[in-house]
Chain A
Amino acid sequence: MIKVLEAGLSTTIQDAGRYGHYHIGMPPSGAMDQFAHTVANYLVGNDKGAATVEMTYQGSDFKFTEDTVIAITGAEMAPELNGEPVSMWETLAVSDGDVLSLQFATNGARTYLAVAGGIDVTPVMESRSTYTLVGIGGYDGRTLEDGDTLTIGDAGADRSSLVGNSVADEHIPNYDDEDHIRIVLGLCDYRLTDESKEELCDAEWTVTPEADRVGYRLEGPEIEFKPREQPFGAGTDPSNVVDLGYPVGSIQVPQKPIVLMRDAVTGGGYATVGTVISTDRDLLSQRRTHQPVYFQSVTLEEALAARKARTETLESIRNSLTP
């Protein structure tokens, strides 16, 4: 078991996500940074679908009541085990009674704690991810609180031989440097003026304090729409369209851009003008309030190449780990 001594700011249980229910309005939820989440699981010998603890901005303090192996990935949170600094992106041994404490995040926003066997909470619709809006999944459908107790899943075998494995430096993202977020323009970008379409990719956007698991609101220049007589059913504002489905990662521009993240609304009546490619949704989720973001328009082929490269990196990390 893991006892939560200090829960932190916004700490939830997440996994690879909840799929197959988008058409009833159920967003996927799941780890915001799937790369860091997956690597943490690999380090402790789990499949990528095992549930981890996601901490946002502020780390949590945990007390372990059994021997196990853990790994911490994502934003730097200066982890300490019984008061001694320990490494991130590395498989660590913990013993009954050990206390793990994590600090405020530097270099990134979200940190993942994986434990051999995964965090065992009851799956809802085949996923252990927390979706707080309607209070389902994870730990009672909510963010963790001081005093909560997490059950560790059955690891099947002793994983202590994994201890000491670590991820090569070249594969560890430097989140603070990742300010270019690649997007595929499209969806309803025909609604933008040519100037605004260019500006979307030229301007410096700033992450506002309203940036969470639901969406990232960005601050920057005014976006303008082409004037038109609004089609029947769309509503009167130039940004309105007949309500449609929103891809995760899509950018809508009610006025200032909002990039929809994993707990976002699944549809609505604002024009969406492009979509952050799957690999870079992870990187955007590590951008911090007041940091800049630049959108870089790429083709579908470039997006697929980035996805392939990321899959190869994950495979390479997995293969480098010695059991």
Chain B
Amino acid sequence: MTARIERKESLSPRYEYGGDDYVFVELDQEMSFDANFEAMAITQQIRERDLPGIIEICPANASYMIHFDPDVLAPTDLVDELKQLEQETDLSEYQWDTRIIDFPVLYDDPWTHETLMQFRENHQDPDATDLEYSARINGFDSADEFIDAHAGAPHMVTMVGFVPGLPWCFQMVPREEQIEVPKYLQPRTDTPSRAVGFGGAFTAIYPVQGAGGYQLFGRTPLEVLDVDQQLPSFKDSMVFPKPGDILNFRRIDREEYDAIREEIEDGTYEYTIEAVEFSPEEFFENPHEYNAQLVEVLD
């Protein structure tokens, strides 16, 4: 039997006020592609409506948030509008123009390894590495097999935030193939920049050095944030990832990592990006075959 992505038949959104100037809409308490695509579809439409008084439109994993000026747009009117959009949105009518991007990762790299070893004391499994622990609790025989699974199917950027440029990525596989790992019991005070971490059901790439609570799997040579916009792929924005982007994590060795870093530091590296049209319906029906077609364009 071919693996399908089970649809969430009905979402039960909660509309909440954040003080007098935010509306937060939780489409679902659990993560699903349906909830995420719904968040993207509604926020895209609200952006297109260009209502006066809207300050920020922020899609998230299974929710979204609007920051608005209540002196211009009454909070109750905004919620009515959002509820109406929710009623009208039918994902089967939706397609997205998006990008698929080759994203090399040096798994089990020396830098995140050094960091994670400094924080073993409070870890769920002090005698293993984050990769070994994550492999074990997800039923893999080795960290190596686990890495193959993580890099084995593409991931969709379902939210950008925390700090500028950090993508949350959700792997494009059916629920039973999803990896799930706990976050650190106590957040680390340090994480190398460009670390690839995993928490809940999400991969995150840390743009800058700092605190973090995700299990550390590796490090990418690519930047996700370029404040000075020196790299060609950052011409339009200091932040690279966009919600809806598809990242294809590719396992690389140290030699390739160093070669890419050299080009990044020279400001010459061009990210491998292909434009694709994404159809939720086709993806839900046969994700593995659909992913294979998507990834093919990168060869």
Residues of A near any B CB (own CB < 8 A): 19-26, 133-136, 141, 183-184, 186-188, 231-237, 240-245, 247-250, 265-269, 272, 275-278, 300, 303-304, 306-307, 311
- Does B201 have its Cβ within 8 Å of any Cβ on chain A? yes
B174 within 8 A of A: no
Within the complex, what minimum Cβ distance (angstroms) separates B185 from chain A?
8
Chain A proximity mask over B182-204: 1 for CB below 8 Å, otherwise 0: 11010000000000000111100
Contacts of A184 in B (CB 8 A): 17-20
* Chain B residues bordering chain A, tally (CB within 8 A): 59
Contact in complex: A188, B26 (CB < 8 Å)? yes
Contact call B24/A304, Cβ cutoff below 8 A: no
B59 interface contact, C-beta 8 A: yes
B64 within 8 Å of A (CB atoms): yes
Minimum C-beta distance from B135 to chain A (A): 17
Overall SS of chain B's interface: loop
Q: CB distance A244 to B55 under 8 Å? A: no
A20-B161 in contact (CB<8A): no
Nearest chain A CB to B178's CB is how many angstroms away?
A: 8
Q: How far is the CA of A26 from the CA of B237 in the complex (A)?
A: 12
Check if B168 is an interface residue, CB within 8 A of chain A. yes
Tell me the complex Cα distance, A276–B200, Å: 28
Known: A243-B61, A245-B64, A245-B65. A275 touches B31 (CB 8 A): no
B200 to chain A, nearest CB (A): 4
B195 smallest CB distance to A (angstroms): 16
Taking A233-B30, A242-B31, A300-B75 as contacts, is the C-beta distance between A187 and B24 under 8 angstroms?
A: yes
Nearest residue in A to B67 (C-beta to C-beta)?
Answer: A22
A245's contact among B63, B166, B175, B178, by CB below 8 Å, is which?
A: B63
* Complex: A311 Cα to B207 Cα, angstroms: 38
Contacts of B55 in A (CB 8 A): 19-20
CB <8 Å contact, A183 and B19? yes
Additional pairs, 19, CB under 8 Å, beyond known A20-B55, A235-B182, A311-B71 = A22-B56, A134-B207, A134-B208, A136-B227, A187-B18, A231-B29, A232-B32, A233-B62, A237-B182, A240-B183, A242-B29, A242-B200, A242-B201, A243-B159, A247-B18, A265-B162, A267-B162, A272-B24, A307-B20
Partner of A186, one of B18, B31, B225: B18
B163 near A244 (CB under 8 angstroms)?
A: no
Q: Are B202 and A243 in contact (CB under 8 A)?
A: yes
Give 1 or 0 for each of B154-180: 1 = CB within 8 Å of chain A CB.
Answer: 000001111111101010000100101
List the A side residues contacting B28 at CB < 8 Å: 231, 242
In the bound complex, do residue A240 and residue B22 qualify as a contact, i.e. CB atoms below 8 Å apart?
no
Docked-complex contact B60 and A247, CB < 8 angstroms: no
C-alpha gap A134/B226 in the complex (Å): 10
**B75: chain A residues within 8 A (beta carbon):** 300, 304
What's the least CB distance linking A301 to chain B, in Å? 9
Residues of A within 8 A of B208 (CB): 133-134
CA distance A135 to B228 in the complex (A): 10
A247 to B56 alpha-carbon distance, docked (Å): 10
Interchain CB contact under 8 A, B201 and A244: no
Q: Is the CB of A243 within 8 A of B60?
A: yes
Could you list 28 A-B pairs, sorted by A, with CB under 8 Å?
Answer: A21-B164, A23-B243, A25-B160, A25-B161, A134-B163, A134-B227, A136-B238, A231-B30, A232-B32, A232-B180, A233-B180, A234-B29, A242-B30, A242-B61, A243-B168, A243-B200, A244-B24, A245-B24, A245-B60, A245-B64, A269-B183, A272-B24, A277-B19, A278-B19, A278-B21, A300-B17, A303-B19, A304-B70
Distance in Å from the Cβ of A27 to the closest Cβ of chain B? 9
Q: Is the C-beta of B16 less than 8 angstroms from some C-beta in chain A?
A: yes
Contact B20 A232 (CB under 8 A): no
A166–B240 alpha-carbon span in the complex (Å): 48
Instruction: Provide the residues of chain B in CB contact with A304, threshold 8 Å.
Output: 20, 70, 75
User: What is the bound-complex CA distance between A265 and B28, given in angstroms?
Assistant: 22
A25 close to B175 (CB less than 8 A): no
Instruction: Name B225's contact: one of A134, A237, A243 (CB within 8 Å).
Output: A134
* B153 CB–A CB distance under 8 Å: no
Complex contact B20–A244 (CB within 8 A): no
Q: What separation, in Å, do the CA atoms of A93 and B274 have in the docked complex?
A: 60
- Mask: chain B, 50-85; 1 = CB below 8 Å from A; 0 = not: 000001111111111101001100010000000000
Task: List A contacts of B70 (CB < 8 A).
Answer: 304, 307
Q: How far does the Cβ of A96 sit from chain B's closest Cβ, in whole Å?
A: 36
Q: Give A133 to B225 CA distance when docked, in angstroms.
A: 12
Which of A24, A242, A245, A311 interacts with B165 by CB under 8 Å?
A24
User: Roughly how many angstroms separate A266 CA and B59 CA in the complex, as a whole number?
Assistant: 11
What residues of A have a CB within 8 angstroms of the CB of B56 in the complex?
19-20, 22-23
Q: Say how far B103's CB is from chain A's closest CB, in angstroms.
A: 18
Shortest C-beta distance, A255 to chain B (Å), equals 10
Complex contact A234–B63 (CB within 8 A)? no
In the complex, what residues of B have CB within 8 A of residue A265's CB?
161-163
Docked CA distance A232–B35 (Å): 12
Interface string of B2-22 (1 = CB under 8 A from A): 000000000000001111111
Does the CB pair A244–B199 fall under 8 Å? no
Choose one: A22, A234, A236; the contact of B30 (CB below 8 Å). A234
Instruction: Choose among B22, B71, B182 the residue that contacts A247 (Cβ–Cβ < 8 A).
Output: B22
Indicate if B42 sits at the interface (CB-CB under 8 A): no
> Which residues of chain A are within 8 angstroms of B178 by Cβ–Cβ distance?
232
Distance (Å) between the CB of A187 and the closest chain B CB? 5
